[in-house]
Amino acid sequence: MKCEEAGHVCDKNQYKEASFKERVKLAIHLIYCGACRKYSFNNNKLTKAFKKSDLKTISKEDKNTLKDKLHQEMSK
Amino acid sequence: MPKHQLDPNKWVDLYSDYLFNFTIVRVSDVEIAKDLISETFLAGLKSKDNFKGEASERTWLISILKRKIIDHYRKINSKKGKAEVRMSYNDEESEGDWLEERVSDPFDRTAEDTMENEELGLAILNCLGTLNEKQATIFKMKTIDNFDTEAICNEYNITASNLWVIIHRARKAMADCLEKTWL
């Protein structure tokens, strides 16, 4: 496995979309590749940070409602 | 020449998520939070001539939002008595075990945790603001709203590998941005 692929599998794994085979190959790659180990470490932490922060977003529809209101007010 | 300028056309895209997360930890009701944000934008529009350009647009909007939140609390507090905490340890059923119930629980760090998580959340949103718009939108959809890869690809008419390239770049930028303080 090349580093490029390892990075990709590591990304997919953050969203639980990597297959078992891919995960095994990634784990083997990480044994001997320091750069990817570092990327993987930070990547996992980023995922945890997102979970912990429990962020919410406003849905697209609600955003459009907000925009409409704002535009109405602006054109007055 | 003022350093910062207001551009109300972009407010919703740039700041609504930030304001929403700021509000939701304070009022813990989605509908009220949305109303407060809408009021904030409208109030900002009305008083936009008072903007001196000293603070950034977002800081300025947050200061309006804070006033809106305080007003909201005043309003619900005027319905007196509802905020009172009543403890009734006098009924016969719970007699004898109330002392134990009142001992503080050292493992209950809820308030501190909430505060720390809020700061983390706002730091994340801050970093999201440094990504370009398409990258940020797609990354948010995938990471915060947990959309399927396929759904996002269909919506933006991109291939799965396009999507993963965008996600990869976004994750790298996010990790760099958050590294110093949070990761």
SS3 B87: coil
Mean pLDDT of chain B: 82
Are A55 and B124 inside 8 Å of each other by CB?
yes
pLDDT number for residue B47? 87
Q: Is A46 on the interface with B (CB under 8 A)?
A: yes
The first and second tokens of residue B140, run together, are: 């948010």
Mean per-residue pLDDT for B23-44? 89
Cβ neighbors of B139 (< 8 A, separation 6 or more) are B128, B131, B166, B167, B170, B171, B174
Higher local confidence (pLDDT), B10 or B94: B10
Rank A31-40, B84-93, B129-138 by mean pLDDT and report only the highest.
A31-40
- Residue B13: is it exposed, middle or buried by C-beta count within 10 angstroms (0-12/13-18/19+)? middle
> What's the rounded Cα separation, in Å, for the pair B183 and B169?
17
Q: What angle do CA B62, B64, B69 make, to 5 degrees?
A: 90
Cβ neighbors of B67 (< 8 A, separation 6 or more) are none
> Which of B12, B20, B171 lies closest to A56 in CB terms?
B20
Model confidence at B38, in pLDDT bands (50, 70, 90)? very high
Residues A71, B40 contacting (CB under 8 angstroms): no
pLDDT number for residue B1? 45
pLDDT per position as a tens digit, B108-161: 667 777 778 888 888 898 888 888 888 998 999 999 988 889 899 998 899 999
Give the count of Cβ contacts less than 8 A between chain A and B.
88
Indicate whether this model's pTM tops 0.80.
no
Are B12 and A50 inside 8 Å of each other by CB?
no
Q: What ipTM goes with this model?
A: 0.86
The rounded radius of gyration (Å) of the Cα atoms in chain B is 22
The first and second tokens of residue B70, run together, are: 């305080």
pLDDT number for residue A27? 95
Which residue shows structure tokens 């009305």? B46
C-alpha distance from B154 to closest chain A C-alpha (Å):
16
Higher local confidence (pLDDT), B151 or B92: B151
Residues of A in contact with B34 (CB under 8 A): 58, 62, 66
